[in-house]
Amino acid sequence: MAIFDIKKIFGGGGIKRRPEKTSTPSPKKEEKDSSMFGGKSYMNRGNFMHQLGNPELYRRTSLAKKDTTRIGEKLFGHGSSVKKKDVEEAEKQLNLGKWGKFKDLSYEDKGKAKRLTKGILGK
């Protein structure tokens, strides 16, 4: 008996191949943008301040209209438009505590501002 025949009997005679990769990508879960921006990267400042009075935002944050507009002015009261990155950056700065950009806010206002930014971003 030849070595080739022995390998064939024991199953070691052929070349093992890897299974082929599938070329179709797995279906991704489509995430709906639940932020106040509605899928856009920025919003006009006047429209943004108007949206702070939206009752849907009240349900998400449990803040009064007076608080959302006051804190919104403190956080985003400059420029002609508000970008989604600005809101994300404000959230990061609020989480830095006394070392962040908004260190002059009171403890209570910081908590409200954190809830407001999460409500704006739809988290």
Q: For every one of its 123 residues, what pLDDT tens digit does the chain have, with 9 covering 90 and above?
A: 677 677 767 765 556 667 677 676 666 665 677 788 888 888 998 898 888 888 888 888 888 889 888 998 888 888 889 999 999 999 999 988 878 888 888 899 999 999 999 999 988
CA 20: distance to chain centroid?
35
Please state the pTM of the whole predicted model: 0.68
pLDDT of residue 89: 92
pLDDT of residue 2: 75
pLDDT of residue 117: 92
- Give the start-to-end residue ranges of the domains of the chain: 44-123
pLDDT of residue 60: 87
DSSP string, the chain: --HHHHHHHHT-SSPP-PPPPP-SPPPPPPPP--STTTT-SEEEHHHHHHHTT-HHHHHHH---HHHHHHHHHHHH-SSSEEEHHHHHHHHHHHHTGGGSTTTTS-HHHHHHHHHHHHHHHT-
pLDDT of residue 28: 65
